[in-house]
């Protein structure tokens, strides 16, 4: 009878240990997921502000007799380049360490900004990931 009680006691201990490990993993995944969502929201808002700032850095040039709008490509007396203006917005929000601007395009009257958010992996390190990388695209209309 004592052997049966001891075996049951061992099974109960194993079950409690497994439930505890599962609970800890669930909490860890939830915390990391919430952290990723908050970081992505901040990155998206920062990239949206960066696209709006880039949309203000437009020059009108004459090309083959037509007036053409172009994003400013270099810093100059007319103001910063579209990339510099976008980067300044990310810097002002403290996002430049984890968020970077990949490309800025002007399509018709819309600025298309592609960026990447690098979120440090906590649980991902178990499977060999240093960061979770997310590609984000935001749009901003030119001012009339």
Average pLDDT over residues 11-15: 80
| HEC secondary structure over 63-105 | ECCEEEEEECCCCECCECCHHHHHHHHHHHCCCCCCEEEEEEE
Say what the pTM is: 0.79
40-72 pLDDT per residue, tens: 999 999 999 999 999 999 988 888 888 889 999
Contact 119, 36 (CB under 8 A): yes
89-116 pLDDT per residue, tens: 999 999 888 999 999 999 989 999 999 9
CA of residue 13 relative to chain centroid, distance: 43
CA of residue 77 relative to chain centroid, distance: 32
Q: Where are the alpha helices (DSSP H) in the chain?
A: 2-55, 82-92
pLDDT above 60: residue 1? no
């Amino acid at each position: 009878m004592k052997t049966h009680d001891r075996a049951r006691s061992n099974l109960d201990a194993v079950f409690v240990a497994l439930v505890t490990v599962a609970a800890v993993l669930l909490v860890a995944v939830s915390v990391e997921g919430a952290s990723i969502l908050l970081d992505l929201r901040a990155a998206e808002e920062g990239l949206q502000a960066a696209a709006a700032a880039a949309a203000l850095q437009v020059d009108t040039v004459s090309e083959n007799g037509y007036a053409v709008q172009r994003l400013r490509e270099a810093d100059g007396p007319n103001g910063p380049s579209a990339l510099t203006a976008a980067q300044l917005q990310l810097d002002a929000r403290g996002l430049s360490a984890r968020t970077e601007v990949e490309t800025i395009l002007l399509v018709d009257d819309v600025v298309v900004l592609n960026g990447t958010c690098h979120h440090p992996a906590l649980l991902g390190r178990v499977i060999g990931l240093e960061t979770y990388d997310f590609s984000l695209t935001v749009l901003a209309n030119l001012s009339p």
